[in-house]
Structure 1
């Protein structure tokens, strides 16, 4: 299994970065994971800003040479792992800018004229690992599960990725946040992952 980890946090001393390290550690100890690549969007200085004009059309985004290496990473991966904080009830703007540009029509999906498109990333699976300051039930009850709906239904299932696993960790800025327990949960998950 080839695994692409997309890490989105500007600070390498953050808890998100500690979760990234547990993903890498667990994956490197798992014989089912043959290769792992990490895309650190901030370190990469990925430009999240969409540009459409007379020279750069939205309908051509799937073939934009600026993003060829990122498209190749997505095509290469069997499993895509997203590691990010929840800010204002959703992933960071940097990750959303990556999604806007990478999950383009005629690369990630194809319009068929009906209500739903044909997902072109079928057969892949995804894991979303997110951290937040408040309790996890805040997203569920106050925001009507908007984060999961966005990532699972509006994005991943739309492009054909049906198997999606979520780890949402709350109270991450609290000394009572059980950080080690949660970090070890991610390590164990990736160490024992079979598909």
Structure 2
């Protein structure tokens, strides 16, 4: 299995980064994972701004030469792991901009004229690891699971990815946030996970 880790947090001293390290540690001990590649969106200076004009047309997004390497990474990966904070009930703008630019028609999906398109990224799986200041139940109870609906239904199911797992950790700025147990849980998962 090939695994692509997409990291979307500007600070390498953050708890999100600690989760990134545990994912890498667990994956490194997993005999089923052949190779892991890391795409650090802030570190590489990824431009999340989607532009359409006379030179950049929406119908040609899947051919944008600037994003060729990123498309190749997404196609290469059997498992895609996203690590990001939850800000204002959703992933950061950097990650949403990556999604806007990368999951283009004729790359991630193809319109068939019906209600749903043909997903072109079938057979892959996704794991979303997110942390937030608020309590863990905030997204489910107060926001009606908007985060999971956005990631699972509006994005990944739309492009053909059916296996989507979530680790949503709340109260992460609290000294009672049980950081060590949560980090260990992610490490153990990636040490044994398969596609």
How would you bin the TM-score normalised by the shorter chain? over 0.9
Distance 2:167 2:9 in 1: 16
Where does residue 101 of structure 2 map in the other structure?
101
Deviation of 1:194 after TM superposition, in Å, equals: 2.3
Runs of 4+ in 1 over 6 A off after TM superposition: none
TM-score computed with the length of structure 1 as normaliser: 0.99
How many residue pairs get aligned? The number is: 195
> Could you report, residue by residue, the CA deviation over 1:86-115 in whole angstroms, capped at 9, with x for unpaired residues?
000000000000000000000000000011
Structure 2 SS opposite 1:25: helix
Where does residue 175 of structure 2 map in the other structure?
175
How large is the Cα RMSD of the aligned pairs? 0.4
The question of 1:11 aligning with 2:11 is answered: yes
Structure 2 SS opposite 1:151: helix
Deviation of 1:141 after TM superposition, in Å, equals: 1.0
Where does residue 52 of structure 1 map in the other structure?
52
Distance 1:176 1:113 in 2: 51
Structure 2 SS opposite 1:166: strand
Matches within 5 A, 1:1-195: 1-195=1-195
Structure 2 SS opposite 1:4: strand
Distance 1:160 1:168 in 2: 23
Structure 2 SS opposite 1:149: helix
Structure 2 SS opposite 1:39: strand
- Any unmatched runs of 5+ in structure 2? none
TM-score computed with the length of structure 2 as normaliser: 0.99
135-144 or 40-49, which moves further after superposition?
135-144
